[in-house]
Amino acid sequence: MANILCIGAGYVGGPTMAVIAKHCPQHRVDVVDINEEKIAAWQSDQLPIYEPGLKEIVLEVRDKNLFFSTEIDRHIAESDIIFVSVNTPTKTFGQGAGKAADLQYWEKTARQILENSSSPKIVVEKSTLPVRTAEAMERILNSNDKGLFFDVVSNPEFLAEGSAIRDMENPDRVLVGGRESSSGQEAVQAIVDIYAQWLPRERIITTNLWSSELSKLAANAFLAQRISSINAIAHLCEKTEADVTEVAHAIGTDSRLGPHFLRASVGFGGSCFKKDILNLVYLCEYYSLYEVATYWEQVVKMNEYQKANFVSKMVTAMFNSVAGKRIALFGVAFKANTSDTRESPALAVCRALLEERAQVVISDPYALDNARTDLSDVAEQVIFEPDPYVAAQDAHAIAILTEWPQFAELDYQAIHAAMIQPTFIFDGRNILDHKKLHQIGFNVYALGKPPRTHFPS
């Protein structure tokens, strides 16, 4: 039996440890955080995050071998293996501001581990980090006069929000990187043994430390690049009467390319893609690889353009003015099946519409609380409405900003009848039946497709 500790009870720490606890009943798993409210929520029936299937697992293992606590020091002292999944946001100050990862929470955690340890431990990097962070971690941990040795292992998390539990239960692969020394390899094996409780060994990839750290940044860069690539093609479709859905299908059936991440959208969001690519860009610049840095930075620039261009198209379509017009935004979560709104394109669209003096109403099944916090500086100008039918009442336009499946199933006939004519719908996720909406009477603007309007051309 091992005492496993996870520092950081966020979107990664909570779900990953719940699944580990479920599959490793022989181990005790503690999850700690400095945020008391969050820990209280993990201990209650109102978990701090929404993920399909999460609550069931937490209820199954909580207080059996999964525990949530704010007593960080005590649990460090008692642990054998420590996963660190604290946040690693983009630095907002000093050297590398706007690009480099802010590692202050990370370093504080390393020092806290050292201070409270009286036995050797395996420290696992779960957070996404710049390549070679483990070296700094080892230096902090192993320059001690207690005679203690810490092995640092990299085990980046590849789960996607919205399918975190499914991804943890059945991942494409798990990655564990460590030192080649015998103690480094023993540490790697200890982490492999945890995952091998429910995964076939061939799905657990082991590499050196630096490959593991870099693979996480590279994976996110490739995923985001696919989104920016299809969005770039969507613009060309709009100019040429090609249809981006047809193009995506045609290219995605090529087995070398595959069908995933080829849906044109208002842009990618979430706490990771932008920050991780900017981190990669910063690393490239640090190593004087300026062309490589520019190449990756363009993925982020394309995404910023995507959000701005979406609003610009809305304004142009609505006779060059949205001032005073009620606009219903359907969806504020950065993707479906999550309450997370971090870096959501919907927030950028909302702010840009407010700049244009539109009356913005936001509807979302799970993310309104987070949106209220994100938009607290402009909260008086925004209406938050859980019912999409009420949100669309007397609206001039609807914009679909999250691909929640329920938005495709609404009664658009009734919605159309309750709106101000002429009605506009901007499908920023290409999830609606555009032909049908047009027949109902909407002027329909999708991404990478010719608009369907009732105006003479």
Contact 369, 343 (CB under 8 A): no
Of 131, 40, 51, 54, nearest to 88 by C-alpha is 131
Is residue 111 a contact point for ligand NAD (CB under 6 A)? no
**Which region, judged by CB under 6 A, interacts with ligand NAD, from 5-13, 139-147, 290-298, 401-409?**
5-13
- Which residue number, 74 or 357, has a Cβ lying nearer to ligand NAD? 74
**Which region, judged by CB under 6 A, interacts with ligand NAD, from 27-35, 185-193, 371-379, 435-443?**
27-35
**Residues 372-411, interacting with ligand NAD (CB under 6 A):** none
**Which region, judged by CB under 6 A, interacts with ligand NAD, from 32-40, 59-67, 240-248, 414-422?**
32-40
**Which region, judged by CB under 6 A, interacts with ligand NAD, from 53-61, 102-110, 394-402, 426-434?**
102-110
How many residues bind ligand NAD (CB under 6 A)? The answer is 26
Binding mask 241-280 for ligand NAD (x = CB under 6 A): ------------------------------xx--------
- Which residue number, 17 or 425, has a Cβ lying nearer to ligand NAD? 17
Strand order in the sheet with 397-400: 382-384, 359-363, 326-330, 397-400, 424-427, 443-446
Among 4, 5, 7, 165, binds ligand NAD (CB under 6 A): 7
Burial of 92 per CB tally in 10 Å (0-12, 13-18, 19+): exposed
Is residue 424 a contact point for ligand NAD (CB under 6 A)? no
User: Which tokens belong to 35?
Assistant: 């945020």
> Is 350 labeled as catalytic in the residue annotation?
no
Judge if the upstream peptide bond of residue 456 is cis by omega within 30 degrees of 0: no
Distance CA 72, CA 70 (A): 6
Q: Give DSSP secondary structure letters for 36-87.
A: HHHHHHHTSSS-SS--TTHHHHHHHHBTTTEEEES-HHHHHHH-SEEEE---
Is residue 116 a contact point for ligand NAD (CB under 6 A)? no
Residues with Cβ within 8 Å of 89's Cβ and at least 6 positions away in sequence, in order, are: 101, 102, 271, 275
Q: Find how far residue 225's CA is from the centre of its chain.
A: 15
Is residue 90 a contact point for ligand NAD (CB under 6 A)? no
**Residues 145-174, interacting with ligand NAD (CB under 6 A):** 157, 159, 161
**Catalytic site residue from 24, 272, 284, 350:** 272
Residues that bind ligand NAD (CB under 6 A): 7-13, 33-35, 38, 72, 85-88, 105, 108-109, 127-128, 157, 159, 161, 271-272
Q: What are the residue numbers of the active site? A: 272
